[in-house]
Amino acid sequence: MLKLFIFCASLLCFIAVPAIAAEAEKGIRVKITVQGHVLKATFIDNETTRALIAKFPLTVSMMDLYSREMCYRFPDALPANEASTSGYDVGDIVYWTPRHSFVIMYEQNGERISNLQKIGHIESGVEIFRKTGDIDVTFELVDN
């Protein structure tokens, strides 16, 4: 009887885990508009993202900092309970807690950054920020 129970439990995990993983991979779809170009991003479902998308549609003036990132600083902090020290990939969208910074990483320099909360990732086209300088960027949810 115990063997049957273990077998059934294992079978349920085998069926359920891929379905859960597929749902998690979908994430929250976001459209980012910059100079008439539309970039598509997938945001991670976490507390920081939920607080951020509650502000959508959102247009912010982003500063081009350090020739690697576009940054907007919110006047008030967003929740960031999963912030840690980590690296980043080109296209990552992150929140840096000390200065309430909402950031798009468009160049890599290998740095590991403390107090970083991952929010999402831009699929392609992030290289546009290499040429824009400071610019207004609009974020909105994609209708499914």
Query: Quick one: pLDDT at residue 143?
Result: 80
- Mean pLDDT value across the chain: 87
What are the tens digits of pLDDT across the range 30-47?
999 999 999 999 999 999
pLDDT bucket at 10, cuts 50 / 70 / 90: very low
The neighbour count for residue 86, using CB atoms within 10 Å, is 14
Label residue 66 left, alpha or beta by phi (over 0 means left) and psi (-120 to 50 means alpha). Answer: left
- Residues 76-131 pLDDT 10s: 999 999 999 999 999 999 999 999 999 999 999 999 999 999 999 999 999 999 99
Structure tokens at 61: 């003036």
State how far the Cα of 61 lies from the Cα of 18, in Å rounded to an integer.
Answer: 40
- Check pLDDT > 70 for residue 14: no
The domains of the chain are located at: 28-141
| CATH no. for 28-141 | 2.40.100.20
